[in-house]
Copies of this chain bind each other. A is one copy, B any other.
């Protein structure tokens, strides 16, 4: 059987904020039956993840492209890897059978042909919606968990600040920290988001950074006793303001720098005098280095989801054609929680 596989590509490298005209929806015929002897697996994509780091892969050059196996440069015109959940429609690999639900590195498209050695695992949904396994129970969740618990090693009662607190990672960092017993303040870019943080996600406090003119004073107001942990998703001014409000032995986990992705000039220049005298640690990290924690992360998070201690926060669009605008809108702060594309019904 042959289908038309539609998938997203970039027309050219994307060096600024992404726009519709940077993308193209391509289609090509795909046979759903494998050649005899093939060891490939053909997956019908169900949910794919939309993440800011993809923009770094689209640039003509970014140091990030050399530094992680997941962040290699994207060639214009070619299909684009992305984490997701799918269903096996044909398998030449004895580990997978037709009908298996799987997760792994799929494509921003309707189907993925996974070659031997590709990242693909059978998925036990454990009673949760499949979309959870593309976000909260996958790399977004692991990023939050590893960054908070491994990099920042919180103590109960410590003061935690989270930027981009309604983003896929930030909302979970805040929720994990609350359940753990920290005092948590988040910032986001609208009144509605601030309300969500406080009312739905249980943050102790939250503010709209767009309404603030002096972030240093703002943070002093929200943290009169200083910040112990800053989970940094944005870099730039906010990092500078956080450093100046950190306590002694403060820890900053940096898992993303949205402010730098679209504008290389907007770099943080935190006071190194503060960093020295307050013995601050600024640590960049990638969740892929913490796969050893995946088991702990998964059982903890599933428990919290079942008991309602953690709220899932998903922002789902439908159809492969909605991928470009989903990515574009990430950089406009228009997502609320984990951005996922539902490609097809199971």
Task: Tell me if A's interface is mostly helix, strand, loop or mixed.
Answer: mixed
- Chain A interface residue count, CB cutoff 8 Å, equals 39
- Indicate if the CB atoms of A272 and B268 lie closer than 8 Å: yes
Q: Is A12 an interface residue (CB 8 A)?
A: no
Q: Which of B232, B260, B272, B278 interacts with A257 by CB under 8 Å?
A: B272
- Indicate if the CB atoms of B276 and A267 lie closer than 8 Å: no
- Indicate if the CB atoms of A277 and B272 lie closer than 8 Å: no
Q: Is A56 an interface residue (CB 8 A)?
A: yes
Among A63-71, A81-89, A107-115, the stretch in contact with B:
A63-71
Known contacts A271-B63, A272-B267; is-contact A286 B282 (Cβ 8 Å): no
Specify which chain B residues have a CB less than 8 angstroms from the CB of A261 in the assembled complex: 273
Q: Is A154 an interface residue (CB 8 A)?
A: no
Q: Is A26 an interface residue (CB 8 A)?
A: no
> A256, A268, A277 — which one has the most chain B CB atoms within 10 A of its CB?
A277
- In the assembled complex, how far is the CB of residue A46 from the closest CB belonging to chain B, in whole angstroms? 29
Residue positions of A touching B, CB distance < 8 A: 56, 62-64, 67-68, 71, 232, 235, 239, 244, 248, 254-257, 260-261, 267-286, 289
Known: A63-B277, A267-B272. 4 other contacts (CB 8 A): A71-B277, A254-B275, A257-B276, A277-B284
Q: What are 9 A-B interface contacts by the 8 Å CB criterion?
A: A67-B278, A71-B277, A232-B272, A269-B269, A277-B284, A279-B283, A279-B285, A280-B284, A281-B282
